[in-house]
Amino acid sequence: MKYFLDELRIIPRIAWMIALAAGIAVWVFLSNSMSQNLPMQNWPKSARITFVLWISLFFFAAMLLIGYINADARRRGMRYVMWTLLSVFIPYGIGIILYFVLRDPLLVSCAKCGASGRSSFVFCPKCGEALTSSCPVCKRAVEPGWNRCAYCGKELNP
């Protein structure tokens, strides 16, 4: 639950305000539409309220999700404007699904200078400090627990 709340905190305030405005606008529009002479006017009042509430919540959540995609792509060093527009304009939520399938891993901060780099980087692009363990021969990134380099086969120091 803490991770979910931490992720919600990256959504900008403007996205929260837009999502709230969209939810309220949908609520008002549907409430007014249902009071007119429409087939839904014959529904029980509780069904009409439930319908309007769920549709409004859907629009609220969709706007928040687009705000999350914008902020998350920005913190991952991706093209955030492009991904935001794709998530808005590709229909049926396919743009949103594509973002979550294709997004880059989070950036890693250098302990020495604080610059950000991709998690696949072995060395900091600013100061050259090692960001992850690397093979002494081929200088490629190695994972903790490996006894040999997966790329050149050289035995790694313990």
CA 15 – CA 66 distance, rounded (Å): 8
The pTM of this model reads 0.77
Number of domains in the chain: 2
List the domain range (segments joined by +) for residue 129. Answer: 105-158
Is the pLDDT at 37 greater than 70? The verdict is no
Judge if 22 and 96 occupy the same domain. Answer: yes
Q: Is 140 helix (H, G, I), strand (E, B) or coil?
A: coil
Judge if 77 and 111 occupy the same domain. Answer: no
Judge if 84 and 30 occupy the same domain. Answer: yes
Judge if 25 and 92 occupy the same domain. Answer: yes
Judge if 70 and 19 occupy the same domain. Answer: yes
Q: Is 146 helix (H, G, I), strand (E, B) or coil?
A: coil
pLDDT tens by residue, 46-60: 988 999 999 999 999
Judge if 46 and 98 occupy the same domain. Answer: yes
